[in-house]
Amino acid sequence: MKEKFILTFDLEFWHNSGFLKKYLPKDKNFSKDYIIESTEPILDLLNKYGHKATFFVLGRVAEKYPELIKKINNSGHEIGSHGYSHCSFFELNEEKLEKEIEITNTILKKITGKNPKGFRAPNFSLGEKTKWALKIIKKHFQYDSSLNPLSFSKLSMPVPEIAPSLGGIYFRILPLKLYLFLANLLSKQKPPVLYFHPYELFESSPKIDAGPWYKRKIKYWGTKTAWKKFEKLMGGFRFISYENFINQSAD
Ligand SMILES: [Zn+2]
DSSP assignments along 25-66, one per residue:
-TT---S---HHHHHHHHHHHHHHHT---EEEE-HHHHHH-H
Mean pLDDT of all residues in 64-68: 98
| pLDDT at site 29 | 66
Residues with Cβ–ion distance below 5 A, ligand 1: 10, 12, 122
Residue 165 resides in a domain = yes
C-alpha to C-alpha distance for 197 and 186, rounded to whole angstroms = 20
Q: How far is the CA of 161 from the centre of ligand 1 (A)?
A: 17
Is the CB of residue 32 less than 8 Å from the CB of residue 206?
yes
Hey, which residues does 239 pair with through a beta bridge?
Answer: 5
Residue 217 has pLDDT above 90, yes or no: no
Q: How far is the CA of 1 from the centre of ligand 1 (A)?
A: 32
Looking at residue 23, the DSSP 8-state letter turns out to be G
CATH number assigned to the domain comprising residue 39: 3.20.20.370
Residue 27 resides in a domain = no
Residue 139 has pLDDT above 80, yes or no: yes
Reported as a pLDDT band with limits 50, 70 and 90, residue 27 is low
| pLDDT at site 46 | 98
Residue 242 resides in a domain = yes
Residue 28 resides in a domain = no
| pLDDT tens sequence across 108-137 | 999 999 999 999 999 999 999 999 999 999
Q: Which of 17-21, 39-43, 101-105 has the lowest mean pLDDT?
A: 17-21
Residue 26 resides in a domain = no
- Using only the alpha carbons of the chain, give its radius of gyration: 17
| pLDDT tens sequence across 67-88 | 999 999 999 999 999 999 999 9
Looking at residue 8, the DSSP 8-state letter turns out to be E
C-alpha to C-alpha distance for 242 and 79, rounded to whole angstroms = 10
Domain that holds residue 209: 4-21+33-250
| pLDDT tens sequence across 143-196 | 999 998 777 778 899 999 998 998 888 999 999 999 999 999 988 788 999 999
Is the CB of residue 5 less than 8 Å from the CB of residue 239?
yes
Domain count, the chain: 1
Residue 172 resides in a domain = yes
Q: How far is the CA of 196 from the centre of ligand 1 (A)?
A: 10
| pLDDT at site 214 | 74
Is the CB of residue 13 less than 8 Å from the CB of residue 60?
yes
Q: How far is the CA of 16 from the centre of ligand 1 (A)?
A: 7
- Cis before residue 191, ω within 30 degrees of 0? yes
Q: How far is the CA of 10 from the centre of ligand 1 (A)?
A: 6
The residue type at 178: L
| pLDDT tens sequence across 198-213 | 999 988 777 777 777 7
**Is 220 or 183 the better-scoring residue by pLDDT?**
183
At 59, give phi and psi (nearest 5°).
Answer: -55, -40
**What percentage of the chain carries pLDDT values higher than 70?**
96
The residue type at 39: T
Report helix angle 226-236 to 176-186, nearest 10.
60
**What percentage of the chain carries pLDDT values higher than 90?**
70
Q: How far is the CA of 251 from the centre of ligand 1 (A)?
A: 32
Residue 20 has pLDDT above 70, yes or no: no
| pLDDT at site 206 | 76
Reported as a pLDDT band with limits 50, 70 and 90, residue 250 is low
Q: How far is the CA of 126 from the centre of ligand 1 (A)?
A: 12
Across the chain, mean pLDDT equals 90
Mean pLDDT of all residues in 50-71: 98
Residue 82 resides in a domain = yes
| pLDDT at site 212 | 78
Closest CA to 127 of 99, 105, 146: 146
Residue 154 resides in a domain = yes
Q: Reduced to 3 states, what is the DSSP secondary structure of residue 201?
A: helix
